[in-house]
Structure 1
């Protein structure tokens, strides 16, 4: 007997201006199941969820919740009725404490006076359920992206929802944090909570989910039980073609040392970091969240002030005190947090692409409209950015296409050293392959890449060497031929010393 659905979405259509985003999508969710919603960036996943939760109104189609035809007026209305969302982009207010963020809009008070102590105690309780020890009195802005993501997850779980929508919940988490989250998800499934799980990480989908629904170009391609399908079949459903090997073969010729760091330190974050990168090489950087990986990259780029240490590029010592000096030296930096650091959301695709390239796109100190338009067209085509055009505001693109814009703006400076911090976070399997190919193309030019990633398959698949950071120190530097997930995790957890 077929289990009844807690949510049914039938023949959902949605257009924005003249662009048809959803073209008759069907989706259903059963109580106590984890149902993956998959598709390339721009396939319509986020739009479907926004229609379900009352952010957008569909042009056609019906939604049934617990058997009743339903239209939620807003996300707050949906949450009040038992549907909570963990968004891909963080909704943390940095100057509020962890506890205040968790109770935002649901503050505990007596006659208008906040019950701060009670909120702190309850916030700690919810975080401990996730296996997280955290000072709930700290301003949330002082935490890492991964820690902020765990606050979002704890906040949603605290709502005791019957339906939980998770949009890329593990994108900023370490393997240890992901294992903790999966334990919690399993418990929620036992408690009959229904979960819509949106992720581009195939391993997660096949490990955690009961069914998979695939969207492509705004249409329902099909729904499969995970036990009855395969990685290759789902990828083909998503992209409409065979994707081939996940990680393209590395073909660059690795030359002499091009970039070198000696005893780099930032007080309170990391100390005496030394490593080098050769021409044409991809150096992967692994480690647990909070180990200091991002902070090291920020110090190299000049967005974080170093305490001590030296940096050399092509044999010359660099004195970088600000990002503009790093850019002038030919260093590009794709940051971990695209929303706050990588993009200006209110500007167009064209304007965002132009930001680090103003000098190259100018003529006699005046911006050349012709050059700017030609450059934006080139990057949109090269990176296959799905957009209505170069004048579309970046905030209206899907998360993965926003990431491609960040990638494109740095490729424009033709960097000889490109630092990538979680470069494929929130990017679909087809776009990942495109980014990996571009990385290969950059190294074939003799350019060097430092890639920070929390995805160990990505680290192993794309790196020539791997540097592992543990508690602000270099724990190991492994050759590709000698590296395994086990060795990386051993070093990342302090079990191996360089």
Structure 2
């Protein structure tokens, strides 16, 4: 780590309130040149607000900021960018209809001597930046055709194009596979070697020791601890984040503390046999030979690298995305089904929590109440009219059951932290009383406490007979939460793993096609 006489960035006694809510409370934070400084905390702890202040997106704060020892007060993101600060947001800020290159250079397009946009140069420079990430993405391709993980890489490329002195990364790996994470860490190593400072926000404890030098923990808007990231343990960080010891139990337990297990030989709820979608659309890895089963009360995981086809499988089962004819069969409760859309899927008892909650899962400008009861309005209506009292009661029961932290049911759901937004999406789907719950990265960008709550809810629902098919990029989640894991590669199911017999490392290696586990087949017994 490079040292300098003065920190590259100093934030001193910074505070910010929104209405009556104190988001940041007298926080001190520094970053040195050539240093990766991790910023940790639960959802709502103030991390993103603090960094939005530093990146010029939030003003009206108290306290001081110095860059290279000089006092600054940004009036907007452009000021911060001119000072050499760039931010990669957790929630993607891309224009879907524009190409990758157009997004990377949006608002600062290179010009020819005639004053017109130099598209060749834009594509050429974007391609060079993409090459650094080691992931092949065509710079001329529209962003809307990319998968979420690829879009996340585009935001990283966009930030790299600013050649920033300080790069703020907010959950940069939340949609990336292990291979893409390794490439990102290699890019981070290059940047720090060149003297750049990096703020790294992540809920993935295993990443912090690999990539960071120091770690600062926020709680309730204030700094409560600072650690040497290379020696910090997950238990230390978690305890500092929540203010008490955290025992993150993947497995649900009964009243006597014994692990709850699925009944051996549970009846099939879902059976997928040789599912393949013909005439797949560009940019999608639709099912090309999927065989698996989910028993009643069972949680089955889907593992695979970015672009393996996990998301497309879930979307196909829910009736969205793929439009081509099917080969193979999908049986729900022993009866053939083929949902033509979400409404029909819900009628069949299939619910879906999508990967990107802000785009596909929530109406951000609408209230928590409206988002919670959205899928069951017909059920709580009487003669076509919805009782506001019944609506409030239903939403209140659901949010209390899930432990959603909110000021009011009438507050915009977009004002909630990421973990609480995810609980609202999950709660709305559980209110439909589904037989089968499809989950795509359900804990993406969610803190340790919210993860524990989500796992508890899944096990509680499974104990009542709900079947769950869960796609995740986190081996610890797959091994800890699921009974079995199906490995998906190139749209095909290639292995089935019993999580009581494999380690996280084995799941990861198998997903990457390294050291494939011998003797394992897909679609067999329980």
Q: Would the TM-score normalized by the shorter structure come out above 0.5? A: yes
Residue 334 of structure 2: which of 298, 315, 326 is its match? 315
Cα contact 1:252–1:440 (8 A) shared by 2: no
Post-superposition offset of 1:253 = 2.8
1:357 to 2:381 alignment? no
Cα contact 1:12–1:58 (8 A) shared by 2: no
1:62 to 2:73 alignment? no
Give the match's secondary structure for 2:378: coil
Number of residue pairs the alignment of both structures matches: 498
Deviations along 1:327-377, one digit per CA (max 9) or x if unpaired, are 111111000111210111111111111111112222222112112111222
Matches within 5 A, 1:274-293: 274-293=291-310
In structure 1, the residue matched to 2:174 is 171
Residue 16 of structure 2: which of 10, 14, 20 is its match? 14
Give the match's secondary structure for 1:481: coil
Q: Tell me, which stretches of 5 or more residues in structure 1 are unaligned?
A: none
Cα contact 1:294–1:421 (8 A) shared by 2: yes
Cα contact 1:346–1:394 (8 A) shared by 2: yes
1:28 to 2:30 alignment? yes
In structure 2, the residue matched to 1:446 is 465
In structure 2, the residue matched to 1:256 is 267
1:301 to 2:301 alignment? no
Matches within 5 A, 1:356-395: 356-395=375-414
Post-superposition offset of 1:228 = 4.7
Give the match's secondary structure for 1:387: coil
Deviations along 1:208-252, one digit per CA (max 9) or x if unpaired, are 111111111112112121245322111111001111144234514
Deviates more, 1:105-114 or 1:169-178: 105-114
Cα contact 1:38–1:214 (8 A) shared by 2: yes
In structure 1, the residue matched to 2:206 is 203
In structure 1, the residue matched to 2:347 is 328
1:194 to 2:205 alignment? no
Deviations along 1:299-346, one digit per CA (max 9) or x if unpaired, are 100013352132221112223111101111111100011121011111
Deviates more, 1:66-75 or 1:484-493: 484-493
In structure 2, the residue matched to 1:226 is 229
In structure 2, the residue matched to 1:416 is 435
- From the superposition, tell whether residues 120 and 435 of structure 1 become closer, same or farther in structure 2 (CA, over 3 Å): same
TM-score, length basis structure 1 = 0.96
* Aligned-partner Cα distance in 2 for 1:112–1:391: 50
Post-superposition offset of 1:492 = 2.7
RMSD of aligned Cα (Å): 1.7
Deviations along 1:423-478, one digit per CA (max 9) or x if unpaired, are 00000011101111111101111111000001111111111000000111111111
Deviates more, 1:319-328 or 1:258-267: 258-267
1:215 to 2:218 alignment? yes
Give the match's secondary structure for 1:5: coil
- From the superposition, tell whether residues 2 and 142 of structure 1 become closer, same or farther in structure 2 (CA, over 3 Å): closer
Cα contact 1:252–1:280 (8 A) shared by 2: no
In structure 1, the residue matched to 2:488 is 469
* Aligned-partner Cα distance in 2 for 1:229–1:16: 33
Deviates more, 1:357-366 or 1:84-93: 357-366
